[in-house]
A and B are shown apart, each in its own frame.
Chain A
Amino acid sequence: MTARRATTAVTRRYTAARPVRPGRPGRSDRVDPLRELVPLRRLAVPMPLCWFALGPADRPMVEAGQRIGRGDTLLERARDAHLAEVSVRAPVGTRMEPVRSPVEGAVEVIEPGAIGIRATGVGIAGVVMHGEPVHGRLLVLADAADAELRATAVDVQGAGAIVVAGAGLDIETVTRARATGIAGIVTGGIAGKDLATLAAADQRQRASLHPTTGFAVLVVDGYGRRPLPGLAWAWLRAAAGTDAGIVADPPMLVLDSEVDPPLVTYDVRIAAGDALGMEGRLLGAAGQRRSRSGLYGAVARVGIRSAGSHELTEHLVPFADLERFE
């Protein structure tokens, strides 16, 4: 083996294949069996089942089978739930606050503790959601999937909207977004401490029993600075300007059913390590390689195209650090 071949990254000339949909890799069909070794992540979920919790004193305002639209009242939540003697000692509330549906769909099931809504459209799955379910028009403020959203980019023009923040944003930007009337934020990543600060502020507001304005943060990829996956970014850009809703269970952004599925031109995404967020083609397997920790693991050859170039640079990435989507 020559020294050149032994290096981690080599540059080869590939011509770009035609655009492909997720799951149909085109020129990389010959390595299809290897794609099965890459962990699959269900990012775009058609017609997701969304759950809305019912507290002891809450009242459902819908029936099973009922069709609902965005903004329809699903339930009334008791801000001041307490026990009272009403023939039997039961939980009641006097300050009832409507919880409106952030999605269109149909009531599939009403359980004692939750209402299940089968939403129309596609859900972009996240990993954690903070806040209350909200809906609004989707506004893409970030310049790119790996760009961070600055506070200066947020103003009152976003009032009522769900903004797309890119790879992350700081607590100052979140606070400014909330203050300017933004309904929700979709971000690739966020610092855990900023979510904790947000939660503490929300708790203080709830304790005051003042009327609350819905606000939600949906984290798509994880904690810290994490670029939005290319597939998620493509969906969000395709849905820009349309109505969308953020739900908590499961944590998800539900897009309008009229949004066309986007095209993507890559097979796999690097989900960990120094090359986090890069996307490219699965070229093949590189066998078992020794990692920096001294252990051996199966490694893949991934071709990544540099911005503005047709050339692919080959990266060796552990299979376990890759992900593919459907």
Chain B
Amino acid sequence: MAVEPLAFFTVDSGGASTAAALIGRVGGRFRLLASGAVPADVPVEMLLRDLAARVHAVEPELMPPTAWEQLTRLEGASRVPGRIVCAAGTPGRLADLERAVGAAGWEIVLGVLPGRPDTLALREALLDRRLDAVAIAAADPPRSDEREKLHPLAELIARTVSRRADVSVLLAGGAGEHAARFGDLHVTRAAAPEPLPATAETLLRRSAEELGRRGTQAAATGRQVPDVRAGFRDAITALAVLLDRPVEGVGIGWNAGTRALAGPEGLRASLTRSDGGLLPPASLGGDRRLDSVLRWSPLRGDTFTMRDRVRNLMLAPWRDASGDGARLRLAAARAALSRLELAWSGGDKGSPPGPPEVVIASGGAFAVAPPPVVALALVDTMRRPGSTAMFLDHARILGPIGTVLDGADRKRLLADLLEDALVPLGSAILATDLRPGRSAGTLRLRANGRRSELELTPGSIQLVDLPPGVAGTAELETREGVWLGVRARRFVLDVTGGLGGLLVDTREVPLRLPERTERRREVIDGWERPLWIGGEQ
């Protein structure tokens, strides 16, 4: 049986690695035939040829030896976050601007107010060769005091960057009246920033995203290709419509992290953060960022040596993926998830609705850990009381598929590939406010015609065997009541199995790790070790 003409590759060109998958139409539907990933420096053709060869080795009729060269590629790339200086006349306006621009994936190198920082420091930042853009914001129309404060600041910025053809300018709201100062520079006028959560899809954020997408290129080919993070967001939205339930997606790459929540009605919330990447560029210098990774690491070693290991991970994230290196990489992924969670929660600006019924993880950061440990990392950092089914986009195809322009084609592809593309990690029940006592509560699981019972222990995480493909019902019963978004003494929840089984988590929200380094390592190791299946202990 030969592959019908509608066969293609998906290619996700990330900052550290390139993932590709061979999709073929077999038996009337699209199937994932092979997938793999290589470091970003390796030519993508080597990977594509290898995928085709693997399929040919198993089913020669399905993929003749040289047929792969003619196949279409559905390609997306993740750009290196651009560096931007943000300026406004008032602290509130600046905070609103930074929230929108930061959620669009920009790395904010400096926030500027009148008189802060000093003129020399500002000029130095504006002259930095690595700067890509400047954003200035004001209310629309600006109040007279705001206009008065912004006028000299905009003049100074314009005078300094106007000689730089390589810098783009984003003028939000009333700041647009300064457009003429910037001469021949590329100027984008956008809506004024609003006091909304970072996850809100505002007009300003969309403008900032479009500005950032200029020049997204695939590392391997240098061609202009769609933004794979936007594609991931669109794929999550399509999945939520397809499954008719809330779906949350989280993608951790080398350069940035993306999170999106969608429901049957469409996209509800999303953001992309440069500090949501596995190891943002700032990690090389500052010890604080390195230590935030080591907080999640169960590895033993003196602090200075471990910091150097994290720095080397930043320089070559595809190396040392076996043994201890994998655990260190997972610690970095947890730290990235935590930073993304902090931005997602929004502080005083409120948080998006949740919890989702389905969480899908994607990105090269999760490629070096067994699926059960990935499930644990999600539960450790994305803490919403309730029940969630978790999946892994192991072949990183959601991003490229999300770039398909036709919504109907996108849905059809996802419907066919759902089972092949998403590895079931399992389910998690996160129940808090469990009172310690002789019998804190009980969980009864009915699945596959069998019943099992588990005593609930406050402040713990317990693993119940629930294999992939098995669905069940979990009944929680407590004397004092438990919090799963609402408080009750008895809950009945539908759960699905996966490689990580069923995780019953009664630890606090947010998760508090011991302050003492050695105790913290013991605790994290205790959580991880049972799930690191197949590894040497």
Contact = CB atoms under 8 A, between A and B. Distances in A.
Given A91-B123, A113-B128, A39 B535 contact: no
A83 interface: yes
Given A292-B536, A297-B322, A81 B120 contact: yes
B129 A320 contact: no
A75 B120 CA distance: 18
A271 B316 contact: yes
Nearest to A292: B323
B533 interface: yes
A55 interface: yes
B535 A293 contact: yes
Nearest to B36: A298
A191 interface: yes
A108 interface: no
Contact of A37 (B42, B126, B163, B304): B42
Nearest to B38: A37
Interface in A227-258: 249
B308 A224 contact: yes
Interface in A255-314: 271-273, 290-295, 297
Most A CB within 10 A of own CB, among B128, B160, B315: B315
B317 to A, nearest CB: 10
B43 interface: yes
B119 interface: yes
A320 B119 contact: no
Interface in B98-144: 119-120, 123-124, 126-129
Contacts of A319: 38
A2 to B, nearest CB: 23
Nearest to A91: B120
B41 interface: yes
B182 interface: no
User: Which of A81, A113, A114 has its CB near the most chain B CB atoms (within 10 A)?
Assistant: A113
A27 interface: no
B46 A36 contact: yes
A295 B535 CA distance: 8
Size range of the chain A interface in the assembly: 35 or more
B323 A293 contact: yes
B532 A294 contact: yes
Contacts of B327: 293
B440 interface: no
Contact of B321 (A113, A128, A320): A320
B368 A39 contact: no
A54 interface: yes
Contacts of B287: 196
B127 A191 contact: no
Contact of A112 (B163, B284, B315, B326): B163
B127 A54 contact: yes
A53 interface: yes
B297 to A, nearest CB: 14
B177 interface: no
Chain B contact patch, size range: 35 or more
Interface string B317-349: 011111101110000000000000000000000
B370 interface: yes
Contacts, number: 131
B410 interface: no
B534 interface: yes
B206 interface: no
A272 B325 CA distance: 10
Contact of A321 (B120, B319, B532): B319
A54 B160 CA distance: 13
A291 B323 contact: yes
A147 to B, nearest CB: 19
A23 to B, nearest CB: 15
B322 A191 contact: no
B124 A295 contact: no
A293 B329 CA distance: 12
Contacts of A290: 534
A28 B535 CA distance: 34
A206 interface: no
B119 A91 contact: yes
A31 interface: no
B305 A224 contact: yes
B312 interface: yes
Contacts of B305: 224
Given A37-B38, A56-B124, A223-B312, A114 B129 contact: yes
B507 interface: no
Contact of A127 (B39, B315, B325, B532): B315
A192 B164 contact: no
A243 to B, nearest CB: 27
B41 A39 contact: yes
B124 A292 contact: no
Nearest to A223: B308
Contacts of A273: 320, 322-323
A293 to B, nearest CB: 4
B444 interface: no
B307 interface: yes
Given A293-B532, A297-B321, A321-B319, A191 B284 contact: no
20 contacts: A33-B46, A37-B38, A38-B42, A40-B42, A56-B124, A112-B160, A112-B164, A113-B127, A192-B307, A222-B315, A223-B309, A224-B308, A224-B312, A273-B320, A290-B534, A291-B323, A295-B321, A295-B322, A295-B369, A295-B534
Interface of B: 38-39, 41-43, 46, 119-120, 123-124, 126-129, 160, 163-164, 284, 287, 304-305, 307-309, 311-312, 315-316, 318-323, 325-327, 368-370, 532-536
State the 5 A-B residue pairs at the shortest beta-carbon distance, nearest first.
Answer: A294-B534, A291-B322, A113-B127, A223-B308, A293-B326
Interface of A: 33, 36-41, 51, 53-57, 81-83, 89, 91, 111-114, 127-128, 191-193, 196, 222-224, 249, 271-273, 290-295, 297, 318-321
Given A128-B284, A293-B535, A321-B320, 5 more contacts: A39-B318, A91-B123, A113-B128, A223-B308, A223-B315
